[in-house]
Amino acid sequence: MSGGFHWLDVQRIAEELADRHPDVDPTSVSFPRLRSLVTELPGFAEQPGHPSNERILETIQQLWIEERA
């Protein structure tokens, strides 16, 4: 995948996490760690007015779980 992405690109983030961290169980990842994993993804850039919050992190975590299924 190419191009930049940000917090609202939850599906893209979940796919990137599944590809880059195949040995990580997303059900065991805390929100602070999840936030760090996301911000470390190549191409990720936070945008003003679109910060992460618990709802976005929950959505990313759920989609990551689904990606692994």
Q: Write the CATH number for 23.
A: 1.10.10.600
Alpha-carbon gap, residue 18 to 64, rounded angstroms? 6
Tell me the CA distances in angstroms from 19 to 29, 56, 59, 65, one per residue in order.
16, 19, 17, 12
> What residues make up the domain containing 41?
10-68
Quote the number of domains for the chain: 1
Q: Is 45 within the bounds of a domain?
A: yes
Q: What is the pLDDT of residues 3-61, one digit of tens each?
A: 699 999 999 999 999 999 999 999 999 999 999 999 999 999 998 888 899 999 999 99
Contact 19, 58 (CB under 8 A): no
Q: Is 5 within the bounds of a domain?
A: no
Alpha-carbon gap, residue 42 to 2, rounded angstroms? 10
Q: The whole model's pTM is what?
A: 0.91
Q: Is 2 within the bounds of a domain?
A: no
**38 CA to centre of own chain:** 5
Q: Is 4 within the bounds of a domain?
A: no
